[in-house]
């Protein structure tokens, strides 16, 4: 048996072991008169571990986590910031947020947030939502609703933390910490196994895994920096490069919205929140705002300054 076959066998056996233990827990829980929680957990562990592509896997992961919390989200690590990938249950109460709005949000890792702490410590955080002094930045972008408690877990890809899982409890709701941790671990294992599993299913004998067609903004594997690659370094002394990277990221994660906004000459109106967050990120690295505003006009608005009507230009 080859090394690859041994690896596949080991992962599959581990997954089978988890499912078997959950099956036993189901029987025990049913015999005690309960069982809904373990039934839900078992169902989503099966869904995640049998997902056929990355979008399906992460979607099942978020939906499974959301069964045990009020709001769930995943943020991907890109350079020196976390970028929203998707959420579940984000629209809650009076919140104007939608699950799809997560793609417009990012957080600088220079701020003292729970996200920074979890990535640095490589371990989960569960508890007071206001322990870290800059956590208010998270809740302000989540519809200005501060939760009762939070759980943030580093999500490992090929052995390195490349994302974070966020879950919270609102208005006295419960937070299923152990259940969420189990689902996240199964998600990590399944994502690592997915390329190998997909090759076997499709019988494609190639060294490069090709997932089904996806947009750049929706592909988890393409967006996550792999364990073998080195993150792009943005030099604070190079404001032009910093501005290009930040503005191009805005376009990458809001491609369709940017195209529609350009056509309607409403780029600032449609992307106001994202533009102001990007400006905040740029200014945290460099105080010369001109390169950023030049990129807003030339790149984001495709040369049409009128499409940015409403933005308060300070340098051009």
In this structure, what CATH number is given to the domain that contains residue 146? 3.30.450.40
Instruction: Report the pLDDT value the prediction gives residue 310, as an integer from 0 to 100.
Output: 93
Digit-coded pLDDT (tens) for 67-96: 999 999 999 998 888 998 888 888 654 555
Question: Distance of CA 270 to CAs 1, 96, 227, 243, 312, Å?
Answer: 56, 15, 35, 20, 15
Instruction: Report the pLDDT value the prediction gives residue 226, as an integer from 0 to 100.
Output: 35
**Using N-to-C axis directions, what is the helix angle for 36-49 and 3-31, rounded to 10°?**
160
Residue 220 resides in a domain:
no
Q: Which residues pair with 107 in a beta bridge?
A: 82
Do 279 and 178 have their domain in common? no
Do 51 and 126 have their domain in common? yes
Domain total of the chain: 2
Portion of the chain with pLDDT greater than 90, in percent? 37
Residue 229 resides in a domain:
no
Q: Which residues pair with 87 in a beta bridge?
A: 73
Residue 261 resides in a domain:
yes
Instruction: Report the pLDDT value the prediction gives residue 170, as an integer from 0 to 100.
Output: 92
Q: Answer whether 20's CB lies under 8 Å from 26's CB.
A: no
Residue 264 resides in a domain:
yes
Q: Where residue 168 falls among pLDDT bands split at 50, 70, 90?
A: very high
Do 254 and 160 have their domain in common? no
Residue 204 resides in a domain:
no
Instruction: Report the pLDDT value the prediction gives residue 277, as an integer from 0 to 100.
Output: 81
Do 76 and 138 have their domain in common? yes
Do 259 and 189 have their domain in common? no
pLDDT at 99 over 70: no
Digit-coded pLDDT (tens) for 207-259: 333 344 444 444 444 444 333 333 334 445 688 988 998 898 888 777 888 88
**106 burial type by CB count under 10 A (0-12 exposed, 13-18 middle, 19+ buried):** buried
Do 41 and 161 have their domain in common? yes
Residues 115-132 have a mean pLDDT of 95
Expressed as residue numbers, the domain containing 13 is 3-199
Determine the Cα–Cα distance for residues 306 and 315; give it in Å rounded to an integer. Answer: 16
Digit-coded pLDDT (tens) for 49-66: 887 778 788 888 999 999
Q: 299: which DSSP letter?
A: I
Question: Distance of CA 143 to CAs 114, 125, 147, 211, 258, Å?
Answer: 18, 22, 11, 34, 22
Task: Give the end of a domain, one of 150, 180, 199.
Answer: 199
pLDDT at 136 over 50: yes
Alpha helices in the chain (DSSP H): 3-31, 36-49, 54-66, 114-121, 136-140, 177-202, 220-223, 239-253, 255-263, 267-285, 290-295
Angle (CA) 144 147 149, round 5°: 155
pLDDT at 184 over 90: yes
Residue 313 resides in a domain:
no
Do 243 and 126 have their domain in common? no
Instruction: Report the pLDDT value the prediction gives residue 129, as an integer from 0 to 100.
Output: 95
Both tokens assigned to 300: 């984001």
Do 122 and 171 have their domain in common? yes
Residue 232 resides in a domain:
no
More confident residue, 43 or 296: 296
More confident residue, 11 or 168: 168
């Amino acid at each position: 048996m080859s090394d690859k076959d041994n690896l596949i066998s080991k992962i599959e056996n581990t997954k089978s072991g988890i499912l078997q233990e959950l099956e036993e827990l189901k029987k025990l829980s049913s015999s005690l008169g309960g069982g809904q929680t373990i039934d839900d957990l078992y169902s989503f562990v099966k869904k995640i571990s049998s997902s056929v592509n990355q979008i399906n896997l992460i979607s099942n992961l978020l939906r499974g986590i959301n069964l045990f919390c009020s709001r769930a989200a995943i943020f991907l690590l890109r350079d020196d910031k976390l970028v929203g990938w998707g959420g579940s249950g984000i629209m809650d109460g009076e919140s104007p947020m939608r699950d799809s709005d997560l793609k417009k949000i990012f957080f600088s890792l220079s701020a003292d947030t729970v996200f920074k702490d979890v990535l640095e410590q490589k371990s989960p955080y569960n508890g007071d939502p206001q322990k870290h002094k800059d956590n208010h930045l998270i809740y302000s972008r989540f519809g200005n609703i501060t939760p009762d408690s939070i759980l943030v877990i580093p999500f490992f890809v090929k052995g390195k933390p490349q994302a974070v899982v966020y879950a919270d409890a609102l208005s006295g709701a419960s937070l299923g910490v152990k259940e969420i941790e189990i689902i996240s671990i199964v998600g990590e294992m399944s994502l690592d196994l997915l390329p190998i599993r997909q090759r076997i299913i499709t019988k494609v004998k190639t060294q490069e895994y090709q997932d089904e067609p996806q947009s750049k903004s929706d592909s988890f594997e393409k967006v996550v920096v792999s364990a073998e690659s080195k993150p792009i370094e943005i030099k604070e002394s190079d404001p032009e490069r910093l501005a290009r990277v930040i503005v191009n990221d805005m376009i990458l994660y809001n491609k369709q919205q940017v195209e529609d906004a350009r056509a309607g000459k409403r780029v600032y109106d449609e992307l106001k929140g994202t533009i102001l967050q990007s400006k905040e990120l740029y200014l945290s690295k460099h105080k010369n705002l001109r390169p950023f505003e030049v990129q807003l006009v030339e790149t984001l608005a495709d040369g049409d300054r009128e499409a940015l009507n409403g933005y308060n230009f300070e340098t051009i």
